Chains A and B, each alone.
Chain A
């Protein structure tokens, strides 16, 4: 069994009166791809956004319970969400590069966190991140071109490069391939598998095939509850809960 990276205990999330996440407890392992699956509105994205406190930006959102990163409570009042987000990177559903050059997109995180002492350090970080995101070959001759001029798949890989450039320990991905064509999706999935060597990756996906292909662990959410969590192979072949079985066979969702 691998080391536990993120551990959630009895997490409740409220949007105003709406109880969006109920009693979720889960242990996410390091150097593992964990997939969150479930029908729309089941709370999987909400829970994902709790892990790097992106929900803080929503005024009416309230989070209860504990989420620990390496045993430290990320909702402790002493924790600055900025430092947390440097450790827990995020890739969003829609590719959202900054309307700046490719280089500046990747260099932004290292710059604001002071990770590069010199221009050459920064160049090295940018190259390494773009290589990790399997984008270097395509853009190395036009690093000063605008990031928004890339194709959808390239934009998403640029966002992944931007996220890994700050050397996070956990990478959250919210349906990273949902806006992409099958070829770009395959590239992203391959990439996720490689990223597993360095990070704990948590991916929210609507595609069960994708979850089965890329993840080692799968969590199934339904109506704000974590219904079942276990080895991906076990969830897809031999689910314990009847709701999980209904979902993966296409009866609910």
Chain B
């Protein structure tokens, strides 16, 4: 059967069907991408809208009298003596300052002293005490201080708390909110960017306004340090040996299968392993970044090994032959030629492994990193053995707390975690671009 003569301008039914199929396929593709982008956008919008508030905080500015009679009866400015005055001695000073402020504004309020004091965070007294102990000279003078507003006031400033909700809330009354309105009009209450969210430690369930990610960020950094220092050299060395030196036989096949399997082991299993080996057997402290780092190293190793081996495999064999051909030894071939060419791939794999480890929560819960830690760990290496928290665990922790202020904190922590991950992934892409070589 010969082909019938047709004009190029007539579209045959076969061609039409083929073109229609192609169009449909493109539509599926666009639909799939749109769904993915929509879901991502929804996720980001919901997290950012509920978490962005964590980066802004409400502050109350007050002129506080620091009477010598209360703070330093001896009059010697001896720190040891002054330390005997606890935060309970300082809290009334703040309340008094606030009441003086209200009087100065000429604002009439039926609120009791305790309710007025409730506008200021419970963390304020400690802040005042720390300042006075650090600067004993200020005793006897009046100083301007900026205190955190309490969680409910902060919620009111961010729209979370309203007059209606305050009616039913035992911790805040509409009358207090009216006072806040007056203080805002006066300029004593302001909302501004909150560095303390990133630098200060966690706080108790009573005061979400002063809870921060400082310890969690530091703990996560310490763990990443441990992972990087252990997983990178071990992983790269193992990969180079398996890929370049080991003979292909049943044993290497077995190892290869096991590494692939390890990459698929649920992370909580690594947590149990870490608990059994590092804490119960080796006797390392609980909640310590060193243990978290070791567990995450175990988890990251397969990722690094797999990506490093892929990067080594991608180096063309002709480069190895060229080096061997001029009389380089096996090791010189690997270190002078193969490894530099594989480096971008290795770096990318390592950073992706680290990013994965950074977001890992389950194994850390098992080794006790979920504990409430308010003290900053020391500088490494000793600090690696101090209790610390971690970013994803802090998110988990805050979502468990009752005060609605912590919902915002948890979302803020998620934003911080995502920012770190984005930075790491961008670094991976840039490094790959920078060091990529063609052959």
Contact = CB atoms under 8 A, between A and B. Distances in A.
Interface string A109-122: 10011000000000
A94 interface: yes
B400 interface: no
B321 A112 contact: no
Interface of B is mostly: helix
Nearest to A83: B327
B329 A82 contact: yes
B326 A108 contact: yes
A90 interface: yes
Nearest to B248: A59
A85 B247 CA distance: 22
A98 B437 CA distance: 11
B341 interface: yes
A92 interface: yes
Contacts of A108: 323, 326, 328, 336
Contacts of B319: 96, 98-99
B337 interface: yes
A89 to B, nearest CB: 7
Contacts of A54: 321, 324-325
A89 B437 CA distance: 26
Contacts of A99: 319, 341, 437-439
Residue of A52, A57, A89, A148 with highest tally of chain B CB at under 10 A: A57
A97 interface: yes
A92 B321 contact: yes
Contacts of A195: none
Interface string B311-324: 00000101111111
Interface string A85-111: 110011110101111000000001100
A162 interface: yes
A148 B328 contact: no
Nearest to B325: A90
Interface string B53-80: 0000000000000000000000000000
B332 interface: yes
A59 B247 CA distance: 7
B322 A98 contact: yes
- A interface SS class: helix
Q: Looking at chain B, what size class is its interface with the partner chain? A: 20 to 34
Given A96-B321, A98-B322, A99-B437, A166 B247 contact: no
Interface string B236-269: 0000000000011000000000000000000000
Interface residues of A, number: 27
Given A59-B247, A148-B439, A109 B326 contact: yes
A162 B326 contact: yes
A109 B437 CA distance: 22
Interface in A35-57: 52, 54, 57
Interface in A148-172: 148, 159, 162-163, 165-166
B318 A112 contact: no
Contacts of B439: 99, 148
Nearest to A56: B324
Contacts of B322: 92, 96-98, 159, 162
Nearest to B328: A112
A108 B319 CA distance: 13
Interface in A111-151: 112-113, 148
A148 B329 contact: no
A163 B325 contact: yes
A74 to B, nearest CB: 13
A85 B337 contact: no
B318 A166 contact: no
A94 B318 contact: yes
Contact of B318 (A57, A83, A92): A92
A98 B325 contact: no
**Interface hub of A52, A54, A112 (most chain B Cβ within 10 A):** A112
Q: Name the residue in B248, B326, B332, B337 with the highest tally of chain A Cβ atoms < 10 Å from its Cβ.
A: B326
- Listed residue (A85, A89, A96, A159) with the most chain B CB atoms within 10 angstroms of its CB: A96
Contacts of A166: 326-327
A85 B321 contact: no
A162 B322 CA distance: 9
B318 A52 contact: no
B377 to A, nearest CB: 44
B326 A163 contact: yes
Contacts of B324: 54, 57, 85
Contacts of A86: 326-327
A159 B325 CA distance: 10
A99 to B, nearest CB: 5
Nearest to A91: B325
A112 B438 contact: no
A112 B325 contact: no
B335 to A, nearest CB: 11
A52 B325 CA distance: 8
A42 B436 CA distance: 39
Interface string A52-75: 101001010000000000000000
Contacts of A112: 326-328, 332, 336
A159 B323 CA distance: 11
24 contacts: A52-B325, A59-B247, A82-B327, A82-B328, A82-B329, A83-B327, A86-B326, A90-B325, A91-B325, A92-B318, A92-B321, A96-B319, A97-B322, A99-B438, A108-B328, A108-B336, A109-B326, A112-B327, A112-B336, A113-B327, A148-B439, A159-B322, A163-B325, A166-B327
Given A85-B327, A92-B318, A112-B327, 4 more contacts: A54-B324, A86-B326, A98-B322, A109-B326
Interface of A: 52, 54, 57, 59, 82-83, 85-86, 89-92, 94, 96-99, 108-109, 112-113, 148, 159, 162-163, 165-166
What 4 A-B pairs come out closest when comparing CB atoms? A86-B327, A96-B318, A109-B326, A90-B325
